[in-house]
């Protein structure tokens, strides 16, 4: 009887650590998706100075800054380790300004020089070939690391 209980426990532990496959019967990772993936798209309007619009939902987020309402704020990176956001300024006239809750800073993907705010330009051509209209953010559990999309 004791051996039967140990076998049942061992089998249950094996299922707890199982891999999940979507579109495959032989997953190679904890989650293995063999097919297209879709993410929720969220549209946010900017907030006025001192009361930035909070970014807390979605993965791909369209930011719409308007005159006097250009600020957006990411959650504290320490509270959402591993979270990712793709942020795109969809305005053709206003620059979006990004901040983060907490003491976290923004680090570009290629160096450790931090900044406390970032801007997403309204016109991808305004920077002479260096647009920052779309950025991807990843929380490392302390700070936000970001990279540019040149779209």
Q: Give the Cα-Cα-Cα angle 61, 66, 69 (nearest 5 degrees).
A: 90
Average pLDDT, the chain: 79
Q: Alpha-carbon distance 63 to 87, whole Å?
A: 7
| Residue 9 structure tokens | 């426990």
pLDDT value of residue 86: 92
Query: Over the stretch 60-101, which tens digit does the pLDDT of each residue have?
Result: 999 999 888 999 999 988 899 999 999 999 998 898 988 888
Query: Over the stretch 4-28, which tens digit does the pLDDT of each residue have?
Result: 555 666 555 555 567 888 898 888 8
Specify the pTM.
0.73
Q: Alpha-carbon distance 47 to 53, whole Å?
A: 5
Q: Alpha-carbon distance 80 to 98, whole Å?
A: 17
| Residue 146 structure tokens | 């970001």
Paired residues of 62 in beta bridges: 43, 88
Query: Over the stretch 136-151, which tens digit does the pLDDT of each residue have?
Result: 888 888 888 888 765 5
DSSP strands (E only) in 18-143: 20-22, 31-33, 41-45, 53-54, 60-64, 71-74, 84-89, 96-100, 106-108, 118-120, 134-139
């Amino acid at each position: 009887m004791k051996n039967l209980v140990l076998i049942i426990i061992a089998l249950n532990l094996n299922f707890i650590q199982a891999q999940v496959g979507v579109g495959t019967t032989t997953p190679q990772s904890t989650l293995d998706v063999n097919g297209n993936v879709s993410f929720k798209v969220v549209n946010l309007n900017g907030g006025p100075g001192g009361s930035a619009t909070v970014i807390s939902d979605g993965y791909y987020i369209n930011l719409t800054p308007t005159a006097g309402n250009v600020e957006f704020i990411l959650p504290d990176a320490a509270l959402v380790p591993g979270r990712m956001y793709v942020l795109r300024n969809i305005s053709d006239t206003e620059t979006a300004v990004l901040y983060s809750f907490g003491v976290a800073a923004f680090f570009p993907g290629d160096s450790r020089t931090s900044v406390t705010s970032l801007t997403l330009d309204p016109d991808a051509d305004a920077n002479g070939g260096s647009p920052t209209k779309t950025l991807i953010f990843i929380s490392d559990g302390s700070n936000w690391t970001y990279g540019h999309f040149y779209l």
